[in-house]
Structure 1
Amino acid sequence: MITTRLTELLGTEVPVVQAGMSWVSSAAALPLAVSNAGGLGVVAAGPMRLPDLERTLDEMTAGTDRPWAVNLPLYRGGIEDVLDLLERRPPPVLVASQGGPRRYLDRFRALGTRCLHVVAGAEHARKAADAGVDGLVVVGAEAGGHPPPALVTTMVLVRAVATAVPDVPLVASGGIADGAGLAAVLALGADGAQLGTRFLLSTEASVHAEYQATVLAAGIDDTRTVGHGLGVIRAVRNDFTDRMTALEQAGESVDARRSPFGTATLRAAALHGDVHGGKVEAGQSAGLIDDVSPAAELVERIVTEYRETVDRLPR
């Protein structure tokens, strides 16, 4: 066990959180494996239809007696129906993003659900803390998917938030692929680490083989941030990111870029294997990863690497 404020809050054995990734963890296999290994597995509810989500909630409840979470972007369509379903079937932990915490906080805390809110800066962290969230997930620029619009790095952002809200447990996310990364963010003041790309490259990830192969082959400088003004994303460089980069460098307006940005989808890449025209969302940490392994083995490896890293530090 590695005991931090996060493990004490959530009841996990180790402060390792598997990021909620649309399509990748929009099923029970990956989050079950992570939770049963002592970390926090997270179901990505963002793209899920209600019947699929309800079935996955059943599978999570039946598959583990350990803590697990649902990640919910508050901007998704049909959000009230999803919130109603989760209220009827409350998960142990709710990780919410892309909206204010007052929308859900009272109703879920009354049910005993621990509520973590995703933030991209110290100001948002203070507001979420003032609203009464149980903890914060702080996402830095290195992260895949949706990094902070200002692209402040994890190292700087985590330290800023830890200083701004020292009494709130923090989960650091972005650029973390191993136990050395976990040790680094704990040193910055975080209480745990969220890993996305590392668990994307696990055997339980519900993602197309071509998507995994593309991320596995990527180096640390092979991702791009595109969609500025439209909801910036980080993705592996391909035809889509090249097209968007060219439009942005040419000074095209947000309206002119909206259609090509929206036409390409994560679904096309993650479910159907369109790794050229789709959004192959992944973090810079892809370049630190050279294998696809079972999620439970990854959790154990991260813990071992963490201990080895701490042991190497000068006393």
Structure 2
Amino acid sequence: MRIETSVTRLLGVALPIVQAGMSWASSDAALPLAVSRAGGLGVIAAGPMRLHDLERTIDEVRAGTDKPFAVNLPLYRKGADEVMDLLAAKRVPILIASQGGPRRYLDRFHDVGTTCLHVVAGTEHAAKAVDAGVDGLVVVGGEAGGHPPASLVSTLIITRAVVRAVRGTPVIASGGFADGAGLAAALALGAGATQFGTRFLASHEAAVHSSYKEAVLRAGIADSRTVGRDLGMIRALANPFTDRMTELENTGADLEQRRVEFSKATLRAAALDGDTADGKLEAGQSAGLIDSVLPVCEIVRNLIEEYRTARRALPEIRD
């Protein structure tokens, strides 16, 4: 199966399906390897990884497939320069960088043949990244889990705005996608691929606790919350932690009081320990469209069949 777009040509993948780099969920080889084998782009999440674990994971993915894969690096993470040293030495095929400026890394990775994608959340940053020389963009809308844009502008609007602002640059749309109809919608907006996060979180290969996956299945489309403004805002499934944060924010608690509460909860506790009450259950609004935990190969197959169905259902223009 192949769907050829500007993004698949750039990345050398068969399908315009990108797995989001999700801390812990794709911080080992299983999930990114499965997605790349299925024809999409698997992404290792380097954010929480120690250097030797990251190096081992890169080697495992390389040993498991000859297809492209990526590493996602939040540039604000502690030791980001050492991580970049490792990624450049390993000559990773694709880098997806976020939370920082692209001029910091572009030359060194282009010199070793790495394709560089940059995560943006608006037209101004998109234009600056393109001017700096990035090869493509990941555009994140307000529906996304993890770290959506502070503006919370929807993916529908932000994707179209960025596509119009940087004509000719390959764009990957991210936020709110869970099925093949969403993929069709993203391509109709002018994107060349869709990034799926929460859908792949609810997979057999995602390295998170079963309680986390079950929380995704229980969630409706209105069951996520954005909390932590001025602290690195996240979108997470509603639970006692988000209730406490919402109360503090709504009652005007000072920044330090909110920081203490925000810092006590961690994504690690949810992902590895299954703490669904006090952990950060980061997930997008698309959780409400997901009702099963499946193997990656089946998820990808379903996405393509749903995409075909969505295309066939569109009415023809009649003169």
Normalised-by-shorter TM-score class: over 0.9
TM-superposed deviation, 1:91? 1.2
1:112-151 equivalences under 5 Å are: 112-151=113-152
- What is the rounded CA distance, in whole Å, between the counterparts of 2:208 and 2:176 in structure 1? 20
For the 8 Å contact 2:216–2:290, the answer to whether it is kept is no
Shift of 1:227: 0.4
Describe how 1:63-142 pairs up with structure 2 within 5 A.
63-142=64-143
Q: Provide the secondary structure at the position in 1 that maps to 2:293.
A: coil
Secondary structure of the 1:116 match is strand
Equivalent AA in structure 2 for residue 103 of structure 1: R
**AA aligned opposite 1:173:** S
Cα deviation, 1:47-103, whole Å, max 9, x if unaligned, reads 000111010011011011001000000000011111111111021110000000011
The letter for the 2-side match of 1:152 is V
Matches within 5 A, 1:178-197: 178-197=179-198
Shift of 1:256: 2.1
Task: Report deviation, 1:251.
Answer: 1.0
Structure 1: how far apart are the matches of 2:268 and 2:54? 17
How many residues get paired? 315
What's the offset of the Cα at 1:196? Answer: 0.1
Unaligned runs of 5+ in 2: none
* Cα-to-partner distance string for 1:244-275 (whole Å, 9 max, x where unaligned): 00000001122221111011100011011111
Partner Cα separation in structure 2 for residue 246 and residue 46 of structure 1: 29
Hey, which bits of structure 1, 4+ residues long, moved more than 3 A? none
Matched with 1:269 is 270
- Deviation track 1:211-260 (CA, whole Å, cap 9, x = no partner) reads 11111111101000000111110000001000000000001122221111
Secondary structure of the 2:273 match is coil
TM-score (norm 2): 0.98
1:145-179 CA distance string (max 9 Å, x none): 00001100000000110111011100000000010
- Say if 2:256 is the partner of 1:255: yes
Find the aligned partners of 1:275 and 1:289 in 2 and give their Cα distance.
18
For residues 162-201 of structure 1, what are the structure 2 equivalents within 5 Å? Answer: 162-201=163-202
Is 1:295 matched up with 2:296?
A: yes
Q: Taking structure 1 as the reference length, what is the TM-score of the superposition?
A: 0.99
Task: Provide the rounded CA distance (Å) in 2 between the counterparts of 1:152 and 1:106.
Answer: 31
Partner of residue 59, structure 1: 60
The answer to whether the Cα contact below 8 Å between 2:20 and 2:195 also exists between their aligned partners in 1 is yes
Match of 2:218 in 1: 217
Paired residue type of 1:34:
V
Task: Tell me the residue number matched to 1:156.
Answer: 157
